A = this chain, B = another copy of it.
Amino acid sequence: MINTIVAGEVLKSITRAMVALVSEARFHFMADKLHSRAVDPANVAMVIVNVPKESFEVYNPNGEKTIGVDVNRIFEISKSIRGDEPVEFKLEDDTSLNVKFGSVEYSVALIDPSAIRKEPKIPNLELPAKIVIDAGEFKKAIVASDKISDRVLFKSSENGFSIEAEGDVDRITSFMSEADLIEFNKADARSMFSIEYLKEFIKVASPGDTLTIYLGNNYPVRLVFEVAGGKVGVEYILAPRIEESE
């Protein structure tokens, strides 16, 4: 059956990414990658995780296979794992998953995939603006915005990209010109989002990780993180909030 070995940081990133939105998820062991995706109970955000087989030290899915996983439990246990520690993932039968690291063996009952909420289709979004940014800079802007508001405005224009929040009597703007960004297509776009969600999303990333933002006008945003040294792709799609007319 399934048998894989992967660095601790990869398992930590996968589970951290999913628990931002759900506590249970389907994991698809495909020929070329491990894939999982889910929508949060409020239908406001989607998470898509892809781990190419090259990111594993050993990857033997032994035929495509889908399992239902309590990601919350594995996330809790993964806190005991060091980032550079090899972790063995084993599926001995259809009823339980085995996670082995150091002298510890953790075994958890699988969930019937059909009992887990139906997975979303990944929407086809036309998003004009593309902004590539250090995830650490993005994190700083969200953390600062969170101190004064519960929503932020993402704004892209010829001049640059900005993240803006407005409090009762104050306003905070993080502005990055083309020179401050890794890549930027200068397209016009603006949409407003809940900080509550963004705060959860940024937990998966560290300074030095790359974040690509695809932004439209009053439209969902795609946040594509490359984490765990590029080994794990985590994408969040977040619905916009209505921007009050000014």
Which residues does A use to contact B, with CB under 8 Å?
70, 73, 76-77, 80, 102-109, 137, 140-141, 143-144, 147-148, 167, 169-176, 180
Is A73 touching B170 in the complex (CB atoms < 8 A)? Answer: yes
Bound Cα distance A107, B176 (Å): 17
Known contacts A80-B144, A147-B77; A103 and B180 CB within 8 A of each other: yes
Is B77 touching A107 in the complex (CB atoms < 8 A)? Answer: no
Residues of B within 8 A of A107 (CB): 170-173
Among A76, A106, A141, A171, max chain B CB count under 10 A is at A106
Known contacts A70-B169, A109-B169; A104 and B174 CB within 8 A of each other: yes
Task: Please pick, from B106, B140, B170, B180, the residue contacting A170 in the complex, using a CB distance under 8 A.
Answer: B106
Residues of B within 8 A of A171 (CB): 106-108
Chain B nearest Cβ from A17, distance in angstroms: 20
Chain B nearest Cβ from A208, distance in angstroms: 16
Other A-B contacts than A102-B140, A106-B171, A108-B169, 9 sampled, CB-CB below 8 A, are: A73-B148, A77-B144, A80-B144, A103-B141, A103-B180, A105-B175, A106-B144, A108-B171, A109-B170
Known contacts A77-B147, A148-B73; A172 and B104 CB within 8 A of each other: yes
Nearest residue, chain B, Cβ from A177: B103
Is B169 touching A104 in the complex (CB atoms < 8 A)? Answer: no
Bound Cα distance A167, B76 (Å): 13
